[in-house]
Structures are given as structure tokens and as C-alpha cells.
Chain A
Amino acid sequence: MEQPPQQLIRIANISGRYLVFDPDAVSALRRRANTNGTLVGTTPQQPTQNIFLGLPIELRPEEVDALVSAGVAYVVDDVAAHRSALLSLGPDERRAYIGSLRSRKQAAHKVFAEVTAQKASIAASKAEKLRDSAKSDGSLYSRNSQVTSLGVTPTSSVHYVSPDSHALPVEHHRDSEKGALCQFMLGNGYFMTPGLRFGARYSVYPGDPLRFHAHFMANEYGWEEEIPILDIVGGGRLATAVKKAFLIGGREPSATKPDAALPAVRSFSIEWAGM
């Protein structure tokens, strides 16, 4: 289901970290705000691997700043929101939550029944081939009867905690000195992931990282912040070795763009010259 375009995306602040648990919100961030975040959770379907991770996603503080100031998202104090929901859940909310759990259980029951029926029909057709149809059905139905009571763990608290409970006011949000480069890149359609593997702040993609390779390893600097030439050499050499450019950039204080919602950012792309 598409979210209506004006609906703001809820970002949970849990002890200073920014997380999104609702799959629809994660999808909206990716599709509407070119933000994929980092998937940091265990996928319950395959919990013994570290390649395909699941919800929640974690966002950087400067990404959150950019999303909030672009009017795409808002932040809630999720610890306080849960505390008040757990300690004083009203009868209506309680009913609504139980209703959502029940409907999920029913959906799951239906799926299990379908799977069982499918298995039964496969087993039955196999049995037919073996001309031995006497035994198969009984065991399948007895297994089915065990699936009467199910527990459900929703991923997000969307049916439990009111979405704007303990929303943090926009101005409360830290106006960081840095973050202009991130805001600039998000505003220009680039995607970002953590740059840890290449010793930079960001890996920057020309589109969704699901489809595209990164173009840049990027670091933000203050306009007058000292940049060791050795860091330019190291960053440029490493980026070139993996077919990327090393990008440095930051807010240019004197430059004003009266019309633009985006900060005036100046950046430089660096590649090894090959000589």
C-alpha cells in the first residue's frame, strides 16, 4: 500500500540512535527520500548469516537532520513513547492492538493451512503414484491441529504506540555544524551508506545501492578545517583502486543561494592521476 505523499515518516530516537522499524516507512524512505539507511537487524527467515540483514534500519544523525529539514520525516523519543504506552495503555488502544495481533494470527493460520494443504496434495499425488494412499493424510492433519495457537511478534509498534506520541519538535533537533554535505547529496538524488570499509565517512551512490555501484568515498570538512595532504593522497589512492573518486566537501559560508533550500556546498573530486 502506498503511503499518502504528505504522510511524514516516523524515526525512532532510542537513546541517541535513530532507527526505523516499520517496513512501509523504510520503503517510503527508499522510494521517496533516496535514503536506505543501514539494515542492522537479524532476518528471522535466515538468522545464521551476516550478509542479508533485516529491520530495523539505522540512520545517521545528519541524515535525520536532512530528512527532517526537507519535511520528509519527524523524530520521536521512542523510549518515552513506549514507557507511557506500556504503563498506561487505554482500553481502546488495547483493543486495537489485540485486534491487529489477531488479524495477523488469522493471516498466518491461513498461510499455514495453505502450505499444509499444498504439502498434503503433493504427498497425496506422490502417494497416488506409489499406489499407497492409505497412510499419508492422517499424519498431515494431526500436525495441522497443533497449529492452533500462535504467538506473533510485530516488527514495529505501529499498532501499539500512537505515531506522534512524544514527537520531538523540529527545532529541538540539533543543528549540527556538519551535515551540509549529506544534505546536499540527499537533495541531489545521491544515496549514502556508511563508508567504514573504505576509511571514509560515506559511500556515495548515483542511485539506489540495490542497483548501482558507489561513485564516491566522501568526507565532509569545515570550510577552514585543515585537511592533511596525506589524507587526500590516501583517500584518492584507495578510492581509485576501487574505481571510485574521493570526494571532499563542505558548506561554503560566504556563498549564499537565496532561492535554494539546500545549503551552499562546495566539493572536489579526487582521483589518482595515473602517473
Chain B
Amino acid sequence: MDASHQFGADVASAVFENLQEQHQWASLQIHRLPGLSRPMIRGLPPRLLYLHPDDQIAALAYEKSTGTRAQHDAEFEWVLAVHLAEKWTLSSLAAVMDALPEARKRAKRIVLAALHNDSTVVYYIVQEGMIKPRQN
């Protein structure tokens, strides 16, 4: 195992633990996807992490017409673990997106987890293409 490979694995395992212990994600697994040198984490957050604004509007309309809240089950997410001091490129991000299996009805997305030296992790949703922001 070379150094960069080991680095990627270390960052991923730190993020893995953070997801498990701090954010109560379930069914966490580390995956090696074909064509990617970095490991990917896959897991289930305790509640739905992302709802597209159009689906949100639809859910509100549903609630208004039926009087019951629309149920949104949590969805499995792909997590890319990186260190805050790293530099990525459009090309390397595109490679990650391309390596993911075809997604649900919305654009492909990953959760970008940025690990800092004090073991803080911050999480960002990264989606393929121009996806309008959530509004609430």
C-alpha cells in the first residue's frame, strides 16, 4: 500500500467513525469502486439528508391537500472523505461521480466530508450539474 493510498484510507476511517458515533449513521460500509483510488463510504443517515426543492414543494402541496405530512424515508448516501488541506479538481470530482452507480430520479450526488486536523468533520452535498438551492 503506497502512502497516498494509506492517506485516503485513514481519512475515510476517521470520517467513518464520525458518521457512526456523532451522526448515528447506520449500515456503514467502505467501498472500493472500480476506477477510483479513493475509498467511498456508503451508509444510511438517521433521517433523509437531502430533499430537492421541487420535491419539497410537492410534499407541502400533498400536506395541504390531504392534511397529512408526507413521509420521506432516509436514503443511502455515498460519502467522499477528504482532508481539508487537500486540493481536488473538476476532473477528479467528475471521476467520483462517474464511478457511482446510476442514481434515483434526481441528479447524482455525494456527501463531501472534509476532515480537519482536530478531527472536526464538515459535510457538504455535492450534486452533478446546476441544481437550484433549497429554500427553507
Q: What is A's interface to B at a CB cutoff of 8 Å?
A: 185, 188, 190, 204, 206, 215-216, 221-230, 232-233, 236-237, 239-240, 243-245, 247-250, 252, 266-275
Contact of B124 among A188, A225, A247, A273 (CB under 8 A): A273
Kindly list chain A residues whose C-beta atoms are within 8 Å of the C-beta of B82.
Answer: 229
Contact of B91 among A224, A229, A232, A236 (CB under 8 A): A224
Whether B129 contacts A270 by the Cβ 8 Å rule is: no
Q: Does B15 contact A (CB under 8 A)?
A: no
Whether A233 contacts B124 by the Cβ 8 Å rule is: yes
Min CB distance A153 to B, Å, is: 43
| A221 to B, closest residue via Cβ | B90
Interface residues of A: mostly helix, strand, loop or mixed?
mixed
Contact of A229 among B50, B88, B129 (CB under 8 A): B88
Kindly list chain A residues whose C-beta atoms are within 8 Å of the C-beta of B126.
Answer: 268-270
Q: Does B111 contact A (CB under 8 A)?
A: yes
Q: How far is the CA of A215 from the CA of B89 in the complex (A)?
A: 23
- Give how many B residues have a beta carbon under 8 Å from the other chain's beta carbons: 34
Listed by A's residue number, 29 A-B pairs whose Cβ atoms lie within 8 Å are A190-B130, A204-B130, A216-B133, A221-B89, A223-B91, A225-B90, A227-B87, A227-B89, A229-B87, A230-B84, A230-B85, A233-B114, A236-B124, A243-B135, A245-B131, A247-B130, A252-B91, A266-B94, A268-B127, A268-B129, A269-B127, A269-B130, A270-B124, A270-B125, A271-B133, A272-B125, A273-B111, A275-B23, A275-B123
Further pairs besides A216-B130, A247-B130, A271-B133: 13, Cβ < 8 Å: A204-B130, A215-B130, A224-B89, A227-B87, A228-B86, A229-B87, A232-B88, A239-B133, A243-B133, A249-B130, A268-B129, A272-B124, A274-B123
Min CB distance B86 to A, Å, is: 5
Given contacts A229-B84, A270-B112, contact A275 B49 (CB under 8 A): yes
* CB contact list, B37-84 vs A, under 8 A: 45, 49-50, 82-84
